[in-house]
Structures are given as structure tokens and as C-alpha cells.
Chain A
Amino acid sequence: MSQPNDISFQNISFQYPQGDEWALKDVSFHIEENEWVAIIGHNGSGKSTIAKLMNGLLTPQSGRIHIKGLEVNEENIWEVRKKVGMVFQNPDNQFVGTTVIDDIAFGLENHGVQRDEMLKRMKYSLEAVKMEGYENHEPHNLSGGQKQRVAIASVLAIEPDIIILDEATAMLDPIGRNSIMETVDHVRSERDVSVVTITHDLNEVLFADRVIVMNDGEVWKEGTPREIFNLHKELGEIGLDTPFVTQLSNSLKSEGIVLNQEPLTHKELMDELWTFYSRT
């Protein structure tokens, strides 16, 4: 490989030992350095399976996975886990330490980081997620969103090249979700890191550079959020929704009101609407 991608899946097929169907069927895709990719798909379409394959929590029956040019196998697994940080859905069940600082320490200890270095990394990762001053708080005194921010801080402290968020915001309210997404966005502006978000939240998809749509264990489509949401009808057929803004502009279209560009966000919609209004 000349220019190694951050993540590459080559013809991956995977079946759970107890499962009777293939969870993933011949899945291939690449994620580039510094890219933000959203993976969407109906329940059971294989999104979490992909995430767990990325850091060797599961091993595929066939195909190869490379992380930063490193093949994911028995031998490289600890190297890979240093490069891939993962945040799961339930904030409680990934909080290992008795306090915030201990939780961040857990990952650092696992990777054999020296104590002085730990202190440095703890400081900036707590700053990055705006949780300074919470060092000695215990998990049961934190809100779900705060726990999730700590989980992100723990991941940042490892200085990974790739951050995977597997429905990490699913248990949060809209404000909590937004603040997590902004945190990730902020981190990305400070250092090189690729982000993979797995989500059912359409607003979260809009943060991504690219979207991979999964359907029944297969890659159904890849494209920018705009390209994907333009396929509203097909998306509907595989059980996926489109954002309100896209729905509205489609309804407008069927009424004969054609906007210049398919809007994605509220702001774009507003702009389109007033320019449309002043044109007519």
C-alpha cells in the first residue's frame, strides 16, 4: 500500500458464534486520515459489529482489516488498541475508575504510560471535554452527558489516531448530544484524528464528511450527507429516516417549489427560502 488509509476493511465477512446469519457480508470500505465518517443503518444492520472489528474485539471469519497500515491480528492487537479509542452507548458500563481521574488513569495505566506523562495528558483531555474541576467526582454524582464526556476524555488521553463513537450520544438529550459533537469537533480542530460515529441521530450525521449506509450486513451506499439524504425515498425503503429539513424541501418540491440547492440544516433552509422568496 502506498498511502495507508486510517482504516481499511477488505472483503470482511463476520458471523457471531451463536448467530445463524452473517452479521457482515463481504464488507469493504476505507476511511482516510482525518476524515469524519458516520455509519448509519437499521437496528441489527451490523454497525456495532464493524466498530468491534476495528479494534480487534471481534475477529472476522474472512477478509483483512488494517488500521494505519497495521493489520488487525493477534500479534498487533495491543498496538491497534492504542491507535483506536472507542466510546460505547451506555455511559455507566464503561466507567471503570472510582473517580473521574481514576477512570482516565485506567487506560493510561493499561498502556504503560509513565506517571508524569499521565498527569499532563489528564489535564489537557479534561480541558478538551470541559470537565476541569471534576477530577475527584464519583460516577454516580455525574450526569449521563458528563460521564460520556469523561469517556471521551479517557479516549483522548490515549492519543488515538481514530475515535469511534458507537451510539455514544444515544442516551443523552439534544443539548447533551450537541455538546458531545461539538467537543469532538473541537478536538479534531486541535489534532489529527479520524472520527467514526455510529448513530441513529440525523443531526449527528451532518457533522460527518462522509456517510456509510449499512443494510442487512452489507454496505448499501457511501457518500456525503447531502448525497445520501437526497436518496430519501430509497432510504425510506431500508427503514431509515431523513432529517426534517430534507423532508420539508421534498414536500416543497412536490408542490412545485424547487430550491436551488438541497438544504441540509435549518440555516441553509432559511437561506434557500428567503432567496427563493425574493426571486419570485
Chain B
Amino acid sequence: MSNSVIIGQYVPGQSLVHRLDPRLKMIMVFLFIIFIFLANSWMSYLVLTLFALLSVVTTRIAPSFVIKGLKPVWFLIIFTFILHLIVTKEGDILFSIWNFDVYSGALWKGLEISLRFFLLILMTTLLTLTTTPISITDAIESLFQPLKRIRFPVHELALMMSISLRFIPTLMQETDKISKAQASRGVDFRTGTIKERLKAVVPLLVPLFVSAFKRAEELAMAMEARGYKGGEGRTKFRELKLKPMDVWIFILFIIVLITFWILRT
């Protein structure tokens, strides 16, 4: 598997951020993202950036690892920046390259959008780096609980997510096995035109789908045999309990947000 992409990858650890209640963590990231778009003064950006950097340090994950992990989005961030330099024509002309004028408004706007983008990706990455997928599932199930009243299938959704998580590695292993089996029969996945390569994927996908359906059928049978009858009357093993520490961190977060609000113009 590729190790340059770390978005969506969990790094085990015992830091404060790791141990923070996943529900609170999700709420905090969610609020943070909303506030990114409400920032309008450079001071307010400073508050958000400082908080984000503080969070990175607290995770005890090497910053270089996080930065490297953002590699795929660096390009997008820089691209948006340059796009703004070209398109926006506000403020004074700062300087010109060849025949092209760069406006001060463009520089400011470009920096602003890139920073927003960067903070957004950074915080969501931190969430997945420090929270196991199953904890995220638990948090979603717990947070969406009120939606049950409007008949939203919260439990089913969470179960679907956790079963998908459980079967991703299994299906990966299987894909690997099938592609080796097909390669040994002369199917070539690596060379040729895109059309040829797409064609080569068919003998990979068909057996994979057939086996996935068979698995699904057997799994459904096994779940029923183990007494599964939907969410009703079910107890829950994984329980989320707020610790005093969680509350303190959340209060700190709120203080940061209030400071932010004051520093807005």
C-alpha cells in the first residue's frame, strides 16, 4: 500500500488528542471548519493557526510526518494561491512579472484561501490520524442518535460502516491474490494504453465481486444465526463516557473560539 497518503490513516498513540472523546473531537473539528470560513482579520487567522499548530504538537506525531502526509494537497493549495494571483484584480499593483501585474488584494486573497484550505485539511487529517475508524463510527452513531426520531437508520448506518471497515483489509488481500492469479495467467495490468489497462481490470473485478457477494450472503446468515435482529433491544459494548479531561479541553476550545470572535473585524 502507498505510504505517502496518510489521510484516513490511524497512528497509534497515547497523547491527549488520541484519548480525547471521539464525539468531542468530531464536534471540535466541525466547529473549527465553520470558524475557518468566518475568519476575516489576520488576527483571527492567527488564533486559528496557533490552535491548529498547538493541536499538531499535542498529538506527539512528528510534524514532518504530518506535513509529508499532506503532500497530495500541497499542490492544490499552491495551485489555488497562483490562481488567485492571476484572477483577482483588487488593491494596488505591487509588482509586475513580464507584462503581468500582481495586485495586493490578490496576494492577500490568495494567502487567505490557501490558509483556509490548509487548516481545513490539517484538522481533518489530525482527526483521522488520532482516532481509530471504529471510534469515529461509534461517535457518529452516538451523535446522530437524535435523528432516530425522524426514522433515520442510525444504527444500521453505523453497522454498515463498521462492517465495511472490517472487510476492507480482507478484500484488499483478496484483490492482491486475484491479481496475482490473473497475472500468472498472462493478464497484464502494468503496460499498454489506458484502454488496454482498463480492459485488464475486468478479469480482476468480476471474481472480486462474485466473492464479495458470496461473503455478504454468508455473513448475513452468520449474523442472523448469532441473534442479530436489528437495533432494537440491543445493548452496546463500546460505550463513550466523557472524562473530566474531555470537558476541560472542550472549555479551552470554546475560549479559543471566543477569543477568535473578539478578534474578528
A133 within 8 A of B: no
C-alpha gap A115/B162 in the complex (Å): 20
Chain A, residues 101-132, CB within 8 Å of chain B (1/0): the string is: 11001111111111100100000000000000
Chain A, residues 178-197, CB within 8 Å of chain B (1/0): the string is: 00000000000000000000
C-alpha gap A183/B212 in the complex (Å): 31
* Count of residues in B whose CB is under 8 Å from the partner chain: 29
Contact B227 A107 (CB under 8 A): yes
Contact B165 A110 (CB under 8 A): no
A82 within 8 A of B: yes
A158 within 8 A of B: yes
Instruction: Identify which of A55, A96, A110 contacts B219 (C-beta below 8 A).
Output: A96
C-alpha gap A82/B238 in the complex (Å): 22
Query: Contacting chain A: which of B55-63, B121-129, B166-174, B197-205?
Result: B166-174
Contact B219 A57 (CB under 8 A): no
Contact A96 B163 (CB under 8 A): yes
C-alpha gap A95/B166 in the complex (Å): 9
A213 within 8 A of B: no
C-alpha gap A163/B261 in the complex (Å): 63
Question: Using Cβ atoms and an 8 Å threshold, which residues of chain B touch A115?
Answer: 235-237, 239
How distant is B37 from chain A, measured CB to nearest CB, in Å?
Answer: 34
Residue with the greatest number of chain A CB neighbours at <10 A, chosen from B134, B162, B222 = B222
Contact-residue bracket for chain A = 35 or more
B177 within 8 A of A: no
Question: Using Cβ atoms and an 8 Å threshold, which residues of chain B touch A93?
Answer: 214-215, 218-219, 222
C-alpha gap A192/B10 in the complex (Å): 44
Contact B222 A88 (CB under 8 A): yes
Contact A109 B236 (CB under 8 A): yes
Contact A96 B166 (CB under 8 A): yes
C-alpha gap A115/B165 in the complex (Å): 24
A22 within 8 A of B: no
Contact B235 A94 (CB under 8 A): no
Contact B227 A81 (CB under 8 A): yes
Smallest CB gap from B223: residue in A: A96
Question: Using Cβ atoms and an 8 Å threshold, which residues of chain A touch B162?
Answer: 97-98, 102
Contact B233 A105 (CB under 8 A): no
Instruction: Identify which of A78, A81, A82, A98 contacts B134 (C-beta below 8 A).
Output: A98
Question: Using Cβ atoms and an 8 Å threshold, which residues of chain A touch B223?
Answer: 96, 106
Question: Using Cβ atoms and an 8 Å threshold, which residues of chain A touch B169?
Answer: 138-140
Contact B228 A110 (CB under 8 A): yes
Residues of chain B having any CB pair with chain A under 8 Å: 133-134, 162-163, 165-166, 169-170, 173, 214-215, 218-219, 221-229, 233-239
Residues of chain A having any CB pair with chain B under 8 Å: 52, 55, 57, 78, 81-82, 86, 88, 90, 92-99, 101-102, 105-115, 118, 138-140, 154, 158
Question: What are 6 sample pairs from A and B whose C-beta atoms fall under 8 A apart?
Answer: A96-B163, A97-B162, A98-B134, A106-B226, A109-B235, A109-B237
